[in-house]
Homo-oligomer: A and B are copies of this chain.
């Protein structure tokens, strides 16, 4: 008898040459949402503008019966209520979060999944208990290797029924500023961002920040769950690939002028224009942002501003004397580790970590 779930799910695939967006991809694009790029004006993204990706459904969690269990290879397992968590010493960390699939729909050929363009990003102030504190309270047993995080969101993916689950090595889990967050921008987490508690792993792509967290289990071996196999950079379907971890450097322009409704093409009037945007990297501080008004032919350095924190984006700006005509404005970030945004999209079968800037086409009108 064939597995009934294999009737429901299809294997991952890459679109055919020239294949347009499918009904399934549109449905995902309609539920999940990017940050409208004009929201790059905010240091901290207002709730509802922060990008959102939900793998399955937003679960309904009853906060009074909800418990966070910390167990496995520990000497003192914990069972914590939301009240317990709220009573513990907390920290607030501004973090820029980007979906690992940001830029996927700009890849050729296009991996078929949530069809992100460039806006799957946002910055929030997350408040919560340092995970390291919880792990110290639970007292790791000798030989503890990884920490597995389980969320309440439940679904089927590629034929596998699952609760969303990811792991970190003990070293990554104990890192400074990794939080079990209970607040976003100073208020309880909204349902869609993980109420009542979620993991926040500053510097990492979104797949690591397990929402609707219910269980933290310390294990002695490498975790090989579905979402670890899924989030890997592969050129071929069969290969092992490389794990997706930290956010690659990226600068993004707040589109100048005003848009056309249907094409979103930008229009502005000739004269002085302040080009502004934000840049970030999960590997280290952004130290340089370049801007090109001629689609990458020539580049100028933008001024950098201080960001809201070390794990968050920083602003950049550049004054442009805009002359009438059609322009494509591109931006390019460099971080302190020497990583730089590529000019063309890197490609992999999962559609991950495309940090190339697609550019913003602008029409400058006389006067």
Contact = CB atoms under 8 A, between A and B. Distances in A.
Interface stretch (A21-29, A63-71, A168-176, A208-216): A21-29
B9 A38 contact: no
Most chain B C-beta atoms within 10 Å of own C-beta, residue among A30, A36, A158? A30
A10 B58 contact: no
Contacts of A190: 46-49
Contacts of A267: 5, 8, 156, 161
A34 interface: yes
A41 interface: yes
Interface residues of A, number: 68
B41 A260 contact: no
The copy count of this chain in the complex is: 2
Nearest to A118: B30
A359 interface: no
A144 interface: no
A155 interface: yes
Most chain B C-beta atoms within 10 Å of own C-beta, residue among A155, A255, A259? A259
Given A8-B263, A48-B48, A157-B260, 17 more contacts: A9-B260, A10-B263, A19-B20, A21-B21, A21-B26, A29-B29, A31-B33, A31-B37, A32-B33, A36-B192, A41-B60, A47-B47, A48-B193, A49-B190, A155-B260, A157-B261, A158-B262
10 contacts: A8-B260, A27-B117, A27-B263, A29-B29, A33-B52, A38-B60, A47-B48, A55-B261, A154-B258, A155-B258
Interface of A: 4-5, 7-10, 19-22, 24-34, 36-39, 41, 46-50, 52, 54-58, 60, 105, 112-113, 115-117, 119, 154-158, 161, 190-193, 255, 258-265, 267, 363, 365-366
